[in-house]
């Protein structure tokens, strides 16, 4: 996966894939490919979510610490 992709793009692509798959307008062969791709994207997104959550929690935790320090 190219690094340039962001979460939104990933999700967008994923949703497009899901939509394609659901419409059964693709063949099994492609399907497999698509599923593979979707899996990749899901993995990526999940990773991003986890990373974001971690980051955000870290930020907020620091804030909370600040607060504690202040108090």
Partner 1 sequence: MEQAHSQSERQVYSLFDITESITRMFRKHYAMPFWIRAEISKLNLYPHSGHCYPDLVDRQQGKVRAQVRGIIWRDDLFEITRKFESVTRESFREGINIMFLAYVRFSSEYGLSLQIIDIEPLFTLGELAREKLLTIERLKKEGLFNQNKLLEMPLLPSRLAVISAETSKGYSDLRVTLENNVSGYRFHLTMFHALLQGDGAVESIRRQLLAIQAQKHLFDAVLIIRGGGDETGMSCYDNYALASLVAGFPIPVITGIGHSTNETVAEMVAAINKITPTAVAHYLIGRFDEFSHRIGNAAAMLEVSARLILQTASDRFAKASEDFVDAAFELIKNEQQHTDMLGREIRDNVNATVFNHRIALSRYETGISTGPARILMQSDSKIAELHRLVQVHKNHFIKQQIDQLNHTEGKVKLLDPVNVLKRGFSITRLNGKALNGNAKPAAGDELETETLSGKIFSTVFNKELS
Interaction site with a second copy (CB under 8 A):
6-8, 11, 27-29, 31-32, 35-36, 38-39, 42-43, 45-46, 48-52, 55-56, 58-60, 62-63, 66-67, 70
Which single residue is written with the structure tokens 């967008």?
A: 12
> Whole-angstrom Cα distance, residue 31 to residue 17?
9
58 binds, among partner 1, a second copy, none (CB under 5 to 8 A by kind): a second copy
Cβ atoms within 10 Å of 47's Cβ, excluding its own: 12
DSSP 25: -
User: Could you tell me how many helices (H) and strands (E) the chain has, helices first?
Assistant: 2, 0
- Contact positions vs partner 1 (CB under 8 A): 7-8, 11, 14-15, 17-18, 21-22, 24, 26-29, 31-32, 34-35, 38-39, 42, 45-46, 48-53, 56-57, 59-60, 62-64, 66-67, 70
């Amino acid at each position: 996966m190219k690094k340039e992709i962001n979460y939104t793009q990933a999700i967008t692509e994923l949703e497009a894939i899901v939509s394609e798959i659901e419409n059964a307008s693709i063949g099994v062969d492609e399907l497999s490919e698509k599923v593979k791709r979707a899996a990749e994207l899901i993995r990526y997104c999940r990773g991003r979510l986890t990373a974001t959550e971690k980051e955000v929690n870290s930020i907020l935790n620091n804030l909370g610490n600040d607060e504690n320090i202040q108090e």
